[in-house]
Amino acid sequence: MKKGWLCLLLTLAALTAGAQEKLTDVKGIVQNEKGEALPGVSVIARNTRNNFSAGAQTDAEGVFVFPKLPSSGEYNFTFTNVGYEAQTLSGYHLKPGTTVSLVVKLSQTMTSLNDIVVVGYVAVKKKDLTGSVGIANPDDVKKNATYDVARSLQGQVAGVTVQGSGEPGGFVNIKIRGVSSLNDNNPLFVIDGVPIINEAPYDFPIDDIESIQVLKDASAGAIYGSRAAAGVIIITTKKGKSGPLQLHYNGYFGSQNIPKKLPLTDRAQYQKITDAAETNAGLPLAPANDPSSPDYISTTNTNWQDAAFKTGIIQNHDVNFSGGGLNTTYNVSLNYFDQTATVRGGPGEPKYNRYNFNADVESKAGILSFGARASYTQSHKQDLTYPHLHPNIGNEIVDLDRAIPTVPVYDTSRLGGFGGTNQITQKAIVLNIVGMNNLLDNYSNRNRFLGNAWAAIEPLRNLRYKMNLVYDWTDTRDFFFEPQYDLGWYYLNTIAYMTDTRGTQYTGLLENTLSYHLEAGRHTLDLLAGQTFEKDDQQFLEGIESGFNPPYFYSFGTGDPTTASVQSGEQTATQTGYLGRLNYDYDQRYLVTVNFRRDGSSKFSPLNRWGNFSSVAGAWNISNEKFIHLPKFIDFAKLRGGYGTTGNQNFPSDYAFTAYINSNANYLFATVPNAGPDQALAPGSIQTQVADPTIKWETKVTSSVALDLTFFKSLDFTAEYFVNTSKDLIAQPPIPLSVGATNTPYVNAASLRNSGLEFTLGYKKRIGAVSLGINANAHTLHNKVLKLGGTNDPIYGAESKTEVGHEVGEIYGYVTEGIFQNASDIAKHATQPNSAPGDLKFKDINGDGVIDANDQQYLGSAIPKLYYGLNVNLGWKSFDFSIFFQGNEGNKIVNGLYQTLMAGQYTNHYIDELNYWTPANTNTNVPRPIIGDPNGNDRASNRWVQSGGYARLQNAQLGYTVPSGALTRTRIIKAARIYLSGQNLWTLTKYQGYDPDIISDGLFSRGFDYGSFPNPRTVMVGVQVGF
Amino acid sequence: MKRVLILCLVLCFGCTKQLTQTNPNQQTAETFWKTATDALDAVNSVYGSLMLDGSYMRFTHVIINTRGDDATSNSPWDQIYNCGKFAENVDGFAASAPFTAYYQGVFRANQVIEQVPAIDMDTALKDRVLGQAYFLRGLYYFHLADIYQNVPMPLTIAQSSADYYAHQVSQDSVWMQVISDFTKAATLLPVSYANVTGADANQFGRATKGAALAYLGKTLLFTRQFDAAATQFKAVIDLGVYSLVPNYHDNFTEQDENNSESIFEVQFSRSVGGTTQGWGPGDPQSDWAKYEARAITFGPRNFAYCDVQPTKALYYDFLLEPTAGGQVDPRLYATMFYNTPTMTVYGASFQATYGTADSEVFCRKYENDGFVNAEFTWQFASGINSRLMRYADVLLMYAECLNEQGSTAAAYPYIQQVRARVGLADLATVRPNMTQDQMRDQLAHERFLEFGLEGKRFDDIRRWGWLQDPTKLAWLQARDPEFKTYTPGREYMPIPLAEIEANPGVLQNKGW
């Protein structure tokens, strides 16, 4: 009974209210089973004769009042509160001029069978579901301090996987039942019935959430059409309740740190290894590392991790106003979130902050009801950034760890004041991350307006027409400024450079639905028909200028005007759909759902524009079956299953089916021969890319079977098996370079299958003053590639291979066989070009006597076999305590950071490299370091493959609720709770990198960790106050 | 209720019509290829592939220079460091960048050759457009055969994904196609654009008859068809429009581009076009600059990245023969910075910068010394044109053909033209009556000095068979230790792994 507020209001409240003369006061008190007052309970009074209704709420003492109810007729009173069983008192006849007093005791809910689940335009009780729907506990979810709803779902719902990094404001990967698309695997977020197309969880504060449901199969999600192929996450936000204004404040404040540092070499160790690498290559020693050189560095010994990692701050403040009259309710919230980085660096250091304003109003009058919502979000994200001429060396963590100890952090002799390497004496190319963060300015601002208005009319009883309009507008500004500076060898910038990009994207959505509800005897029928239209538009305008001189002004025209240039572009996509659904319920025993949808998209040529998708699902409520007698401890049992298809057209190109002329392919010719640089631009236009005109809809076929059980009135259990097949996946598999195109065209390239088992368990128990709640989930995932393009050619990623019969992004490389100890060792081994004693021996897998690209093999799965999450909540008197464990097992990670730190070149080393092979140190698995690495010791191999499984204490929280008696005297504060919370407190893993919870491309290179920004450890305090 | 249904129907109908969206930013391929302007714009774009990262903006310079004994690399970037050491990795940027760039050029040239004949336009202009497309396709396949040996050879436009998988052909087949393209180009192209009528009038830098003949001759020489090659070179000489510039160094600065010695060069500019360097194999953008990055990549330590340096062998060979006036060969000064008391580097004293004992030498050819105080100042923005075919090369290749045909004595005057420009004594006087073999060595020496750091040396070494001659190979290894890691087969770059993985049936060149 947790999520039912709105629905109860709508379904229980009557539509009309007649004027009455005779009036009665009704008041009462609501208590829990122990006789303690329950504040905030919603009370609905309903006159059964004329359908008049009114609402009220209990105050801090549990008291509610209905002043002056019309007296005639019979009244029902319904009491609802989150976490408690709803109760209805009926048959009250009010006598005019008297006062009726009620005392009500509510008992706590122990099962979730009556939870209301929103499934595609309508709400049903969980026990009546036919499709696969996962329900997250919003209280558990909200304990995770994050800006991102998707992040907070990690480990909370079976079948949902989340990968994230610790970068403030960074995006996360969220997938439902594995990789189902080769483009965007992010599910559709529907917030209060509004499908949010662009980066939904990103701009949305978590505090507003009332409930979260995850639709995992075609039967549940199909009604949302083409956006639903990757699953749907339905979020219902808090709504106003009839009654006086209520004010709530939630806030927390905490600190964040990177919990782990890697053991890297110090100055002397660095110089020893690098000297050996140069000596092995026959090169003279870099003077800075050569003790006999006057340029030898012996005093600088920078520990870059100590220099760069720092404590970050995370804070969140949320103020909520809500209330309403008889027919109109409102809810207004204001939110501020702020997170600073765990990496040092002045004005340019990564950080993220966000302001959010949200207002919601709903009203009804007779057969008409309507609602409107307006959200405004403003966010500022200071990005991880790079010099514009050197964009692709690595990322902030990789460069931080590669920085050598003989460079100081600060160096006033260099322009800008930060240290860097010397080309002649040090030879190493490393980037001073602290300096770069201080010098460069790179941020993204977002202003987002989301407006939604809906109106519904019930012209006939049980026939409802609804029109829903959504307009979602985002303005973005991406700014980059790079001043003149000297960060040493290679990172010298002599020309200041600025880009400023303004973008606009909007989505307009119109939905018309008509629904009809029919009950006849044991038959219940629900019909839904609808039509949708959506338009997505994106525009950008980018200005570029360079040649700025200090003092710098961030405005175009203050640089060198001859360098100024501007670019712009726009793209539009439209889609429309027709949908129909039938729900049939016979005697609460047999339930059937049938969906049909026809979708058209502008992203495909007229020949392939339309797709038809349908699904069917059924459920058998065994516990209601007369001829089956279940044991007494089983309260509820249901068997359900479904099969269906959904379509997907969500790939990032709006005009992929047409070939275009690039008019920027220009050249230049001289205007005067035999002279200076007198050249003029010659316009050049030609087709530079190839396109596949036959591209069409992706189809996903889902099937699942599940058993829902409830035992002992306290234990909910669900087990489910699913098999999903994604066909005609749109992707860009590599094409031969000899085609000469600058792109890889989008084609229907692949088919994949995902299957797995999901288990969900919920338990609630109260023993005296102690309450216990457990929410646990686990799921397995098995992925298999069925088809790849027309030729089934494998697709290669970073140390991975995706091939028919294997998983997406399976780890792939050479296998080491020890180290060549001497020349005869080399002679005995298969031919391995450029190898010498001290180099790694690679296994001749195909046995042809030559080590080449054909001697690679699969080295492990990048997809965990098992994911799990466990929430335990304990309450004792005014104290509450919760812990949340989360983790996964059965996957491998390619530790790309370790690989680059073990390369034995000029950049810094992992301490394992100290054990390198020499003729005197032969009992080792670390090859000799050598500049240029002619043997390819650094190549993709099992050296870098590590176990990726982990178990993490993701959250622990201790809270104290101030007893209501203590608050009564304040007269202002009605409820208060304070808590202490920690996140990412403890991790059990064999992985050697910073953090096994990595963010990668999530696809072909999904197991490759190349300096994923580690997740911080957070310690924070929070308060929740109601006024 | 009826009105609601009608409203629904109207909305639905409107929606379906809205499903047709056209790209507002670009012209579709179907509406192109209609006018003379389209034809000219298209052929201009074929030239654009000459200035990509993988072609002459940067990486072709790296590959063709570091593999010779005139240049070496101590770069901290393995892709450059390993190049001249014949130790490239098959999936590296050095292997894929030129391959990608030249096939992009082929794709564009194929479009012009296939589409322009149907355009209704001035026939003389059409001939010139097609002539340039044939020339450039020939030039791109010349590079592909020369660098990668056996390669796929698409000659038509891919209509669908089924056409993406061109078969690998032998190097000989590619050479035959190159000869055919250059032959067609020579018949279609004008000697000069000074007197043509059309939008291309007075645009210097376009491919000419001379360029096509010179490259045809070069291809015939590379395939050891000396008679035919000699005919082409003689035809170039007889055009009468080319002559050596008096100052050798003028061939490598931005001040004297498209001069009388230049037969074909790639146009670069610091002042025309955008300001963003178009790195990698990406799609051309409106702000892409027309810079080349050789200057900062090859330039001297402390003033540039110094990824490529001349060998000491090149330095010492310049000292072998002083000019008739007893001076050091002036080409040494134009080719490199070296340790001598009067030497300045970007305005600074060489010895003050590097010390008096340090005997390192650095590239000066194609550098902006004298115009800027360090290549870093302009970052990657050098505007010096890459001279792909100089008249001096035609003269020396013609001399080589004469020698190979047995007319050794007839070769002398052509060689001497090149020597005389820099004040070297008459070869017929200082080394008269050479045998054919002696003349071969003499030509090798002359070419080594004349074209030092111009990326011609490794081609010469390979086509003369020195890598298969143990004596010559040992001699090369002594001059440039990078040859110590040469193994048979690696005289060609590896076919990029990406091509092998995506194109079934393409085999790696032997040795990789």
Could you report the per-residue pLDDT of A493-520, keeping only the tens digit for each?
999 999 999 999 999 999 999 999 998 9
Quote the pLDDT of residue A22: 67
Picking from A531, A680, A685, the nearest residue to B272 by CB comes out as A680
Looking at chain A, the whole-number percentage of residues with pLDDT higher than 90 is 57
For chain A, the C-alpha Rg in angstroms (whole number) is 32
Size of chain A, expressed as the number of residues it contains: 1027
Strand extents, DSSP E, A221-303: 232-237, 243-257
Give the span between the Cα atoms of A992 and A894, in whole angstroms. Answer: 10
Q: Using CA coordinates, name the residue in chain A closest to B500.
A: A736
d(CA A981, CA A973): 23
Does residue A970 register a pLDDT over 80? no
Taking contacts as CB-CB distances below 8 angstroms, the residues of chain A near B89 are 936, 939
Query: Phi, psi (5° rounding) for residue A432?
Result: -80, 100
What's the pLDDT at A391? 62
In chain B, residues with a C-beta closer than 8 Å to the C-beta of A657 are none
The pLDDT, as a whole number, for residue A653 is: 86
Give the C-alpha separation, A573 to A695, whole Å.
Answer: 15
The tokens describing B470, both together, are 């143990």
CB contact under 8 A, B29 and A660: yes
Q: Is the pLDDT of residue A631 over 80?
A: yes
Name the CA radius of gyration of chain B, rounded: 25
Q: How many Å lie between the alpha carbon of A565 and the closest alpha carbon of chain B?
A: 7
Give me the residue from B16, B152, B162 closest to A600, CB to CB. B16
Cβ-contact A657, A693 below 8 angstroms: yes
Q: Please state the rounded mean pLDDT for residues A769-796.
A: 89
Q: What is the pLDDT of residue B171?
A: 98
Nearest C-alpha in B relative to A281: B74
Q: What percent of chain A has pLDDT over 70?
A: 95
Q: What is the mean pLDDT of chain A?
A: 87
Question: For residues B48 and A176, which has the higher predicted lDDT (pLDDT)?
Answer: B48
State how beta strands A879-889 and A866-876 pair.
antiparallel
Taking the C-alpha atoms of residue B130 and residue B114, their distance in angstroms, rounded to an integer, is: 10
Contacts of B275 in chain A (CB under 8 A): 544, 546, 563, 565
In chain A, which residue's Cα lies nearest the Cα of B303?
A423
Asked if B233 and B241 count as a contact pair (C-beta separation under 8 A), the reply is: no
- pLDDT for residue A12: 30
Do B107 and A739 contact (CB within 8 A), yes or no?
A: yes
Q: Closest approach of chain A CAs to the CA of B415, in angstroms?
A: 24
Residue A669 β-bridge partners: A680
How far does the CA of residue B300 sit from the closest CA of chain A (Å)? 11
Q: In this predicted model, what pLDDT tens digit does every residue of A943-967 receive, in sequence order? A: 999 999 999 999 999 999 988 777 7
- Grade residue A7 by pLDDT with cuts at 50, 70 and 90: very low
What confidence score (pLDDT) does residue A963 get? 83
State whether B161 and A747 contact (CB < 8 Å).
yes
- DSSP conformational letter for A95: P
Q: Which residues of B touch A742 (CB under 8 A)?
A: 104, 281-284
Closest by Cβ to B283, choosing from A609, A688, A747: A688
Quickly state the pLDDT bin for A295 (edges 50, 70, 90): very high
How many C-beta atoms surround the C-beta of residue B207 within 10 A? 29
Q: Which of A1012, A993, A990 is nearest to A1001 (CA)?
A: A1012
- Give dist(CA A851, CA A860) in Å, integer: 21
Instruction: Indicate the DSSP class of residue B90.
Output: T
From A683, A737, A796, residue closest to B496, measured CB to CB: A737
| CB-based contact B161 A692, cutoff 8 Å | yes
> Which one, of B292, B162, B511, lies nearest residue A694 by Cα?
B162
Give A794-822 as a 3 state SS string: CEEECCEEECCCCCCCEEEEECEEEECCC
For chain B, positions 63-122, list CB contacts with chain A under 8 A.
74, 76-78, 81-82, 85, 87, 89-90, 96, 99-100, 103-108, 110-112
Facing A670 at nearest CB: one of B258, B260, B380? B258
Tell me the three state secondary structure of residue A41. Answer: coil
What the block records as the tokens of B25 is 């930013």
Using CA atoms, how far apart are residues A991 and A893, in angstroms rounded to an integer?
Answer: 8
User: Does B442 reach chain A within 8 Å, measured CB to CB?
Assistant: no
Q: Which of A317, A406, A351 minimizes the C-alpha distance to A167?
A: A351
The region of weakest confidence among A240-249, A489-498, A911-920 is A240-249
Whether residue A565 has pLDDT greater than 50: yes
Is the bond preceding A551 in cis, omega lying within 30 degrees of 0?
yes
Confidence of residue A1013 (pLDDT cuts 50, 70, 90): confident
Contacts A939 to B, Cβ<8 Å: 89
CA distance A573 to chain B (A): 7
Whether A736 and B276 lie within 8 Å, measured CB to CB: no
Distance CA A121, CA A112 (A): 21
Query: How many residues belong to chain B?
Result: 512
pLDDT at A946: 97
Which helix (DSSP H) or strand (DSSP E) does residue B204 occupy?
none
512 residues of chain B, pLDDT tens digit each: 455 555 555 555 555 678 888 888 889 988 999 999 999 999 999 999 999 999 999 999 999 999 999 999 999 888 999 999 999 889 899 999 999 999 999 999 999 999 999 999 999 999 999 999 999 999 999 999 999 999 999 999 988 888 899 999 999 999 999 999 999 999 999 999 998 999 999 999 999 999 999 999 999 999 999 999 999 999 999 999 999 999 999 999 999 999 999 999 999 999 888 888 888 778 998 889 999 999 999 999 999 999 999 999 999 999 999 999 999 999 999 999 999 999 999 999 999 998 888 679 999 999 999 999 999 988 889 999 999 999 999 999 999 999 999 999 999 999 999 999 999 999 999 999 999 999 999 999 999 999 999 999 999 999 999 999 999 999 999 999 999 999 999 999 999 999 998 898 999 998 88
Helices (H), B92-225: 93-115, 123-148, 171-188, 209-222
- Residue A823, CA distances (Å) to A393, A852, B179, B186, B486 in order: 36, 20, 47, 56, 19
Give A207's DSSP letter.
Answer: G
Determine if residue A626 is left, alpha or beta; phi over 0 gives left, psi from -120 to 50 gives alpha, anything else beta: alpha
Averaged pLDDT, A367-388: 89
Between A131 and B335, the higher pLDDT residue: B335
Element (H, E) at B89: none
Q: Is B240 on the interface with A (CB under 8 A)?
A: no
Which chain A residues contact residue B500 at CB under 8 A? Answer: 853
Is B394 exposed, middle or buried (CB count within 10 Å of its CB: 0-12, 13-18, 19+)?
Answer: buried
What average pLDDT score do residues A823-838 get?
92
C-alpha span between A386 and A383 (Å, rounded):
9
Predicted complex ipTM exceeds 0.85 = yes
Look up the pTM and report it.
Answer: 0.85
Tell me the pLDDT band of A111, cut-offs 50, 70 and 90: low
* A23 vs A856: which has the higher pLDDT: A856
Does residue A564 or residue A135 have the better pLDDT?
A564
Is the pLDDT at A221 greater than 80? The verdict is no
